Structure 1
């Protein structure tokens, strides 16, 4: 079942009354804030005159002097206040000034919303006049309508002396009968910056699905958004065990993030990964704390076991069909749970014969059963029978082993196709191949060398059935090798190995196995098992000369001969290979291979090193053909004997340009004679070729 977690968290505290952000009462006789944080300084040449009696003749206040000379530095000299209003709105400032008789009677308040820039923009906030000297004058400014002051870390004020005559050219004394003097004093007290506390809040917007990853691996990346305002400090985001976090755009993950707000605000995307080190199901909370908010949790769920895939792949189709292979193609499945892979299952009978896989039971690759990783989207199906129908279905799955979970409900994609008929292969003769290696120990195997060129799609049968003298025994298997896709040249070695298909060496079916280490044989033939044409044979022990064959013994079929085109050993040894010359005429090599004295054998594979085969077989000259007229209905083909030739094949065709040898007719397949009489009755024109073999 799919879990989707959508979480929207908005915390709102109740509206609070105005509160002191920062204040200075100077009772400690210094300029440090008595409440909050901030700083005071003097500007325009003003200097401190120590701390004297405070407001209402109680406590202390900060006395200042050295104001500008008459007629100079208008609105420059005074006091400068730096403060942060982060977490507050409706900002206001208040103060009290005691004007000495000769000090300037007018003070002007300015504010700036960003004191950090090179040239701050100062805005006049108010003008405040003293009615007489040596009296305290209260002043205040309500900035609640100025939204830029709200939650501002860079707020600043300045309170400066100002010209006050009608011409705006001179300072006026606080006492009308006195004369303005730069030595006049302003004494500051009870400076208070206040505001209404803002409620820190956090909004989390998440649509997280359950996380999945095998132990030691990473899950898919998921993300969620946070939006916070009026924070009073860092926001700390902490992941539960086996989860890690990072901000979108960052490279590294961590189990905890510390996010510094800007003007109390954070708007970021957080990315989450699940990286388990053990298997199981996991749940927990991503914890958001600090910055003045109430702790908020975002629940996460994870498992090392995925549910079944959300959907099937699409576009399941076939192309590249030949007589022995086809390519299956598809587009990967999509959805919330993606597959780890696909199981392709086939049948030669019908789609209904394909048995659906069972959860928890992985299936091994076979001829018509293939596992394909997610993302591959194509699979070559090889070793197909020619001119035959095939049916396939594809099942996406997650996990592996006993946790494998297949999607096998309704709507399984399926397809069918027919392979084409292949070309006609070679008809071989006795001795056209010889066995060069074998192994009874796992993996079972044998190998043979071709002693003649073999046409594409040539079929050779191999069996470990015993020959009774007149027929094959009922037990054991028949294995067919097909030389697909190309011409196979003499001297090539073909390997048939249990559980392994060799590249570019044709195909064989079924899988070769069960080669007994108590004695066994391989017999090569073409045609039907009831009417075989024998080509070659070998036995790991002696061929029978009497008695009844068993599971580990056999007669040597006629016309095969030990030491000529068949091989047998006096004693059974489990594994072996031909270890003599690989160059010479075909006849010489055939005879050498079938000589037991030219083999290396051992009862353990660890004691053997099979060769990298490189047979070099001498070419034979082309026979010089002569046609002699005998009478009106007969001709004689004759040719000179070719050195090292063992036999001759005679071909005929009505078209001299027909592809040879596939489109020529074999008149005689292996004769030792040097002539052939042919009846030409009913023929107008025909062409002949003679090929020598050894």
Structure 2
């Protein structure tokens, strides 16, 4: 796995000065891409860098900074590692006066964060509102969601049973009905179902079978790769498939290791140092209207380098079989971009995704899976439908009625009567622009009505 990580980005290694040579020898002799290795020299007590490592924030001008907290274990060297990382990177380190741990927090990058109730237990002197205010002040979190720990283990970390995959996607472990944790797990699933994502939509909840308490949610996502712990059980293959189904387009790879545990695997032992020139995209999908033909798509883009406008666009299509088209975003004010698209009419669905690219070729898409799992807007706009111009052809007793294609119409009803003063009754319907019949009377009157049928 370290080989893959070092080929997929920079690999930062926290190591003491006395062990650096040994570490360097072990990495270089085992196929690590040493050109991408960076050493942060400091003492540490354990390898659980997820739990004691710093949290990353981007300040108002897209400047990367870091946030520290009181590590919830009596390991002073580990607790001092965030300071060493911040010094190495040359960024500020802000100190939150809260006891916490990195394995017990997930964020969506849009203002929501999730933890178990452990944060309340370990900070009993603070009210929940005080904790929420602190996360808002330091982290920009506007919705801090707390969940009971369904595993009911000693560790109470959210990464032992849930994994946030995208702004609106979460993977949650599942177990058989006779498992002791079944009811508690399903209860937190119900709690997730009651929440709205930062897109204003319900969460897409994916499940992964952990009947043997496998730590499949303790995975690591890095540069469109997902690293999944494997335990050598019959559930391993299905776990990889669960990630592939949830995150199409991502490379999903499993790794087995002899000392992985149900409460300690990949995510616990790896942390992320973010790109200090990263692009961040925020967007709330517009709500289609029944009376407006125009949809305005507002996108907030935070970036360090200038954006490449040819790579900054909304890609969209109407219907699953439509052809992707790009509409370029237009800068309105600092960080705020928009474009207008024609709203899907009732019965149609608009699919779209957002791309932001800068002049260094850094790129971010929203959703993360882009065209393989795009945003979806179901049309409610009711268009005005004109009536067709009809032509009649007669040969012997055969009648062919034809007409022009009418915008937005997908069905045409043919009515007939023996006299223009009688009631016209439906005699046929078609999605084509012609209809044929045989006359069995001397005279017949026809009319065609265009309509849009919602299927």
TM-score by length of 1: 0.17
Greater fraction helix: 2
Greater RCO structure (CA 8 Å; 6+ sep): 2
* Higher gyration radius (CA): 1
- Name the structure where strand makes up a greater proportion of residues: 1
